[in-house]
Amino acid sequence: MALSGAVRHATGSQPGRAGGSARAVTRTLSDDPLGGTVRRTVLPSGLRVLTEAIPAMRSVSFGIWVAVGSRDETGPQAGAAHFLEHLLFKGTRKRTALEISSQIEAVGGETNAFTTKEYTCYYARVLDEDLPLAIDVMCDAVADSVLEPADVETERGVILEEIAMHDDEPGDEVHDLFARAVYGDHPLGRLISGTEETVTPMTRRQIQSFYRRRYTPPQIVVAAAGNLDHATVVKLVRQALRGTPLDSDPAVPAPHRPATPAVRTKPAATLVEPKETEQAHVILGCPGIDRTDERRFALGVLNNVLGGGMSSRLFQEIRERRGLAYSVYSYASQYADSGLFAVYAGCAPGKVDEVLELTRAELARVAADGITADELARGKGMSKGSFVLGLEDTGSRMSRLAKGELLYGDLMPVDELLARVDAVTLDDANALAAELLARPMSLAVVGPFGANDFTA
Amino acid sequence: MALSGAVRHATGSQPGRAGGSARAVTRTLSDDPLGGTVRRTVLPSGLRVLTEAIPAMRSVSFGIWVAVGSRDETGPQAGAAHFLEHLLFKGTRKRTALEISSQIEAVGGETNAFTTKEYTCYYARVLDEDLPLAIDVMCDAVADSVLEPADVETERGVILEEIAMHDDEPGDEVHDLFARAVYGDHPLGRLISGTEETVTPMTRRQIQSFYRRRYTPPQIVVAAAGNLDHATVVKLVRQALRGTPLDSDPAVPAPHRPATPAVRTKPAATLVEPKETEQAHVILGCPGIDRTDERRFALGVLNNVLGGGMSSRLFQEIRERRGLAYSVYSYASQYADSGLFAVYAGCAPGKVDEVLELTRAELARVAADGITADELARGKGMSKGSFVLGLEDTGSRMSRLAKGELLYGDLMPVDELLARVDAVTLDDANALAAELLARPMSLAVVGPFGANDFTA
């Protein structure tokens, strides 16, 4: 029923969209004491441009974010968003693949892209003087790719190698297995890359159709942070998109948005991927909360205390006291309409039962007794400190602008975010722990086991 | 014969060492236009403190660097430097392991450590106001660890899990295999972590002895970068070390430095690690140049052109044109008295021969015909741009200070480094290519093969 989350937010949050007018609408969003001035312009087409001007920086990070990811695919399309992401670096009417990469690399810039379940991002980081070049190259690549049939074939090989590489990394693979344990056949349970079975037969026509239906101006947020001038960035983006399918001047009709299925999570499931590894890679977890849930700040603090750092309960219990794992941590993921909370550990295959028992016991203890005031304070310090430390780099500032716009339709000012973390009470954290950590837990294991070894 | 490189540099470069006097000696090293003021103080003990003051930053990165790594170990000690690095977070006379991590994490700081073949680094990144705390905690942990026998046993388990985790990552493992192919039994050919065989029987006494003999003030560089005041940092470091074995006030005798063997590289060797992986992980390469070789700037440019980015020859040839690999790149490593140049590719097992043939052909072509003027310009742009972009973060600036001091006994100013890159001529690059790329190549392969599959 519901549209996918990222997309719903994106289409639902265009207060500044200027309809049929040819005027771009600009406003200043925030001017926080730690950062620069944030400005937002909505072009007549609905494409949004956000910038943060930070004159003390020498670099600029520039990103094109599209509100489409693997959850927007149908089953047979699985991997289309990611396949497309690869192809957009392969050439446009103006540039070959080599020209795209060499023009950025010749000035020492970095460029890359990634696909998630809810969005796709193309970005570059360059010295400030090279921003016009980066805007021109990146906009051209994303807006006007030709998807040459021969390139589709070549890139299919690259993607199949990427999938094979991933299969050689059991510590990554177990995260995908866990998503499948929780979401089953729902798109959130599928691999972002697709599988060999879906990527092999995918046609250029399917990918082309996905591109043109999904990459429309209202679904796109352009974000930049660093030593820049907002009006110049807007002007350069409009110039670079002129004459492309993303031309930002004419208003475009609202995109056709096929419905994607409502999220269902399965009852707690256990999935084992038998593999002759040295370690057992294990994830124990449950459905969490969605991205707009007001308890997300409490969850951040709770997660820090449970398994967010070296001083966390699980790290202390499993690694520091018993030496059972090198890597053990908890994490929370949020999507538009769903979320995950999980604990990962990599341990000797013979110690899996002990590690699982200790983990379950610790989660049960926190569900029953809550965390302490000291832990709450430390968890808040971690949330605030890591957020503020993260603001010191143009890439993370650029991402903050884009994700705020794409996923929330808004940018939470730094001081408001810090205040929201500060406002988390012991009762908030413990009420959430009591509810969340008492949920039935799913289990994913990659290691030298049989498929039924963990089924009671 | 020769002492290990890092150590030789460290002991050979103490112009400011103040002998028996109790006076610290401070000088200003550089004040480059892109960065902050760099100051260097040599304490009476020989311990060096370098800082870079960058008032526009909110964070400070603080590191304690010790001129000892895995190449300083004897065979039965293999893994001692890394084992010790783990243990130094386990507690001092003043703090438990939990207190060490929780004090930094409570203020949102990050702390970690790593061991290389030639040095070991302990670092923290915190908000500027928390620097005094970070200095106190980190100096205490590194200088005054108690190495409790029970903690040695627990941490042995953690390290064995770290080794097992590494064994589950064939894309990492192949790099170690390649080092063994080139260096054989020389310490540079061994695993930094040691192996299960050396770590299992290692005693507390051995580690303690390694600690006390190797961690002496003249072997240690303390570096910090960010919003800080040099004199305050020096004062806080002296306070924090007072009464510890690294007390910086009394002069200490020159450390006993056992000789480590001179580097020998083997004739080109082929090593295969048979493993049922999805991909073949392959490295082809040869001995390179050492860290002080004047040709290192030319090698950086040449490496960029060969396999340093998406516009490089190998990426274009193997990935862009043929889709044979997702990951393919070249790299150059430098040690005090040796170096490596190598190409990595991960590809389908059935395509290894084709990938190797293409790689050999490309290297031979560059050895014979050289690179073009366009490629030279792009390679220089990559070297300069990525260096300058890297200066925008306090962690990389802190590392630059420490590595300069530890490995070169000096800090090359930013503009000099850029000028050295600019000065590389086509003749320089091509002369180096002709010599380097014509060397006999060693080969390392992890994948579903027999041990003799690649021996002619």
What ipTM did this prediction achieve? 0.89
Residue A12 lies in a domain: no
Question: Does residue A180 sit in the same domain as residue A322?
Answer: no
Question: Does residue B294 sit in the same domain as residue B343?
Answer: yes
**Tell me, what amino acid is at A284?**
L
Q: Do A310 and B101 touch (CB under 8 A)?
A: yes
Question: Does residue A46 sit in the same domain as residue A178?
Answer: yes
Nearest CA to A255 out of A72, A60, A456 is that of A72
Minimum Cα–Cα distance from B318: chain A residue: A158
pLDDT beyond 70 at A106: yes
Cα distance between residue B23 and residue B16, in whole Å: 11
Pairs of residues, one from chain A and one from chain B, whose beta carbons lie less than 8 Å apart: 208
Cα distance between residue B79 and residue B89, in whole Å: 17
Confidence band, pLDDT 50/70/90 cuts, at residue B13: very low
Q: In angstroms, how far is CA A43 from the centroid of its own chain?
A: 25
Q: Do A108 and B388 touch (CB under 8 A)?
A: yes
Confidence band, pLDDT 50/70/90 cuts, at residue B299: very high
Minimum Cα–Cα distance from A111: chain B residue: B310
Contact A134, A104 (CB under 8 A): yes
Question: Does residue A226 sit in the same domain as residue A137?
Answer: yes
Helix axes B426-436, B296-307, angle to 10 degrees: 80
Question: Does residue B233 sit in the same domain as residue B291?
Answer: no
Confidence band, pLDDT 50/70/90 cuts, at residue A261: low
**Burial of residue B254 (number of CB atoms within 10 Å: 0-12, 13-18, 19+):** exposed
Residue A19 lies in a domain: no
pLDDT at A72: 94
Tokens 């049939």 correspond to what residue?
A: A149
Pick A102's closest partner by Cβ from B57, B102, B378. Answer: B378
pLDDT at B84: 98
**Tell me, what amino acid is at B333?**
S
Q: Which pairing describes strands A270-274 and A442-447: parallel, antiparallel, or unpaired?
A: parallel
Tokens 């110690």 correspond to what residue?
A: A351
pLDDT at A260: 61
Cα distance between residue A230 and residue A224, in whole Å: 9
**Among A22-26, A65-69, A369-373, the least confident range:** A22-26
**Residues in chain B within 8 Å Cβ distance of A58:** 34, 388-389, 391-392
Q: Do A389 and B153 touch (CB under 8 A)?
A: no
Q: Do B392 and A389 touch (CB under 8 A)?
A: no
Contacts 24+ apart (CB under 8 A), B306-309: B306/B330, B306/B343, B306/B362, B306/B363, B306/B366, B307/B331, B307/B343, B308/B379, B308/B382, B309/A101, B309/A105, B309/B382
Residue A14 lies in a domain: no
**Residues in chain A within 8 Å Cβ distance of B279:** 161, 164-165, 168
* H helix runs in A333-422, sequence order: 352-369, 373-390, 394-403, 414-422
pLDDT beyond 80 at B248: no
Residue A255 lies in a domain: no
Tell me how crowded residue A95 is: count the other CB atoms within 10 A of its CB: 21
**Tokens linked to A323:** 């030496």
Question: Does residue A350 sit in the same domain as residue A222?
Answer: no
What share of chain B has pLDDT > 90, as a percent?
83
Average pLDDT over residues A427-449: 97
**DSSP characters for B221-280?**
EEEEEES--HHHHHHHHHHHHTTSTT-SSS--PPPP----PPP--PSS-EEEEE---SSE
pLDDT at A21: 45
Residue A351 lies in a domain: yes
Average pLDDT over residues A282-310: 97
Query: To the nearest 10°, the Cα dihedral for A375, A376, A378, A379?
Result: 110
Q: Do B392 and A57 touch (CB under 8 A)?
A: yes
Cα distance between residue B160 and residue B172, in whole Å: 16
Average pLDDT over residues B179-198: 96
pLDDT beyond 90 at A19: no
Average pLDDT over residues B118-145: 97
Q: Supply φ then ψ for residue A155, to 5 degrees.
A: -70, -25
Question: Does residue B306 sit in the same domain as residue B237?
Answer: no
Q: Do B161 and A279 touch (CB under 8 A)?
A: yes
Question: Does residue B223 sit in the same domain as residue B282?
Answer: no
| Least Cα separation, residue A344 to chain B (angstroms) | 13
* Residue B293, domain CATH: 3.30.830.10
Pick A382's closest partner by Cβ from B108, B309, B320. Answer: B108
Tokens 């929201």 correspond to what residue?
A: A420
pLDDT at B207: 97
- Residue-wise pLDDT for B49-83, tens only, equals 999 999 888 899 999 999 999 999 999 999 999 99
**Tokens linked to B73:** 């170990």
- Residue-wise pLDDT for A381-427, tens only, equals 999 999 999 898 999 999 999 999 999 999 999 999 999 999 999 99
**Residues in chain A within 8 Å Cβ distance of B155:** 323
pLDDT beyond 50 at A71: yes
**DSSP characters for B394-455?**
HHHHHHHHHHIIIIISS---HHHHHHHHHT--HHHHHHHHHHHTTSPPEEEEEESS-TTTT-
Spatial CB neighbours of B363, under 8 Å, sequence gap ≥ 6: B306, B343, B437, B441
Contact A183, A189 (CB under 8 A): yes
Cα distance between residue B83 and residue B75, in whole Å: 14
Q: Do A381 and B276 touch (CB under 8 A)?
A: no
**Residues in chain A within 8 Å Cβ distance of B382:** 105-106, 108
Cα distance between residue A96 and residue A104, in whole Å: 13
Residue A260 lies in a domain: no
B227 or B9: which leads in pLDDT: B227
Exposure letters B350-382 (e unless 16+ CB within 10 A, then b): ebbeebbebbeebbeebbeebbeeebbebbbbb
**Number of domains present in the structure of chain A:** 2
- Residue-wise pLDDT for A268-280, tens only, equals 999 999 999 999 9
pLDDT at A97: 96
Kindly list the distances between the CA atom of residue B423 and the CA atoms of A219, A310, B297, B301, B437, in Å, as whole numbers in the listed order: 47, 46, 9, 11, 22
Pick B322's closest partner by Cβ from A154, A167, A170. Answer: A154
| Least Cα separation, residue B315 to chain A (angstroms) | 10
Q: Do B127 and A389 touch (CB under 8 A)?
A: yes
DSSP secondary structure letter of residue B107: T
| Least Cα separation, residue B339 to chain A (angstroms) | 24
Question: Does residue A296 sit in the same domain as residue A230?
Answer: no
Greatest distance between any 2 Cα atoms in chain B: 67
Question: Does residue B177 sit in the same domain as residue B309?
Answer: no
**Among A265-279, A414-428, B343-357, B358-372, the least confident range:** A265-279
Out of A85, A173, A317, A405, pick the active-site residue. A85
What predicted TM-score, i.e. pTM, was given to this entire model? 0.91
- Residue-wise pLDDT for B15-41, tens only, equals 333 333 457 777 776 655 556 899 999
Question: Does residue A201 sit in the same domain as residue A344?
Answer: no
pLDDT beyond 60 at B2: no
Pick B157's closest partner by Cβ from A34, A324, A381. Answer: A324
**Residues in chain B within 8 Å Cβ distance of A384:** 108
pLDDT at A250: 57
Contact B398, B52 (CB under 8 A): yes
Spatial CB neighbours of A78, under 8 Å, sequence gap ≥ 6: A70, A190, A191, A194, A195, A198
Residue B232 lies in a domain: yes
**Tokens linked to A371:** 């965390």
- Residue-wise pLDDT for A123-182, tens only, equals 999 999 999 999 999 999 999 999 999 999 999 999 999 999 999 999 999 999 999 999
Contact B52, B30 (CB under 8 A): no
Spatial CB neighbours of A235, under 8 Å, sequence gap ≥ 6: none
**Tell me, what amino acid is at A410?**
D
**Residues in chain B within 8 Å Cβ distance of A322:** 154, 157
pLDDT at A262: 73
Cα distance between residue B229 and residue A451, in whole Å: 59
Active site residues per annotation of B: 85
What is the domain extent for residue A148? 25-241
Q: Do A378 and B319 touch (CB under 8 A)?
A: no
Q: Which pairing describes strands B442-447 and A48-53: parallel, antiparallel, or unpaired?
A: unpaired
CA-atom Rg of chain A in angstroms: 23
| Least Cα separation, residue B215 to chain A (angstroms) | 24
Cα distance between residue B121 and residue B105, in whole Å: 19
pLDDT at B236: 98
Contact A163, A199 (CB under 8 A): yes
Contacts 24+ apart (CB under 8 A), B228-231: B228/B51, B228/B53, B228/B60, B228/B128, B228/B131, B229/B53, B230/B26, B230/B37, B230/B39, B230/B41, B230/B49, B230/B51, B230/B53
Residue A446 pairs with which residues in a beta bridge? A273, A281
**Tokens linked to A147:** 């998807």
Cα distance between residue A344 and residue A440, in whole Å: 16
Pick A58's closest partner by Cβ from B34, B155, B378. Answer: B34
Residue B185 lies in a domain: yes
Residue B322, helix vs strand vs coil: coil
Q: Do A322 and B387 touch (CB under 8 A)?
A: no
Question: Does residue B323 sit in the same domain as residue B419?
Answer: yes
Contact A218, A14 (CB under 8 A): yes
